[in-house]
Amino acid sequence: QQQVKQSPQSLIVQKGGISIINCAYENTAFDYFPWYQQFPGKGPALLIAIRPDVSEKKEGRFTISFNKSAKQFSLHIMDSQPGDSATYFCAASAQGGSEKLVFGKGTKLTVNP
């Protein structure tokens, strides 16, 4: 049972464009939703995270939008750069993040120059 569904599987964007990655979850106990960025051969790095008490969080070019009623959240990368080319994973956990993370399957983002 996949608890966090992520789409698209791959995404190609031109430099300067907006990259949008979507995730949907099933478990209503989830209350912590982080996004991770992973480069080949490296461990994932936390990009940005949100809790369900807010509908949007922005950090620089990265924004999370959260829709609690729809049980969906998305990552927006504004002004996408070639250096943003990586695999992005959404995740979710319960009890404020102290419980184990459940990961989406990942989205491979390619930003063309």
Partner 1 sequence: GAVVSQHPSRVICKSGTSVKIECRSLDFQATTMFWYRQFPKQSLMLMATSNEGSKATYEQGVEKDKFLINHASLTLSTLTVTSAHPEDSSFYICSADSSRTPIGEQFFGPGTRLTVL
Q: Using the rule CB under 8 A, is 101 a contact of partner 1?
A: yes
Going by the DSSP 8-state scheme, the letter that residue 31 receives in this structure is: E
- Cβ atoms within 10 Å, residue 30: 21
Q: Could you please report the per-residue DSSP string of 21-34?
A: EEEEE--TTEEEEE
3-state secondary structure of 57: strand
Tokens for 49?
């995270």
Q: Using the rule CB under 8 A, is 49 a contact of partner 1?
A: yes
User: Per-residue contact track with partner 1, 13 to 32, x per CB under 8 A?
Assistant: -------------------x
The binder of partner 1 chosen from 12, 45, 54, 78 (CB under 8 A): 45
CA 43 to chain centre: 16
Binding segment (CB under 8 A) for partner 1, from list 12-20, 53-61, 63-71, 104-112:
104-112
Q: Using the rule CB under 8 A, is 53 a contact of partner 1?
A: no
The binder of partner 1 chosen from 1, 14, 42, 83 (CB under 8 A): 42
For residues 6 and 33, the answer to whether their CB atoms sit within 8 Å is no
Binding site for partner 1 (CB under 8 A): 32, 34, 36, 41-46, 49, 51, 89, 96-98, 100-101, 103-106, 108
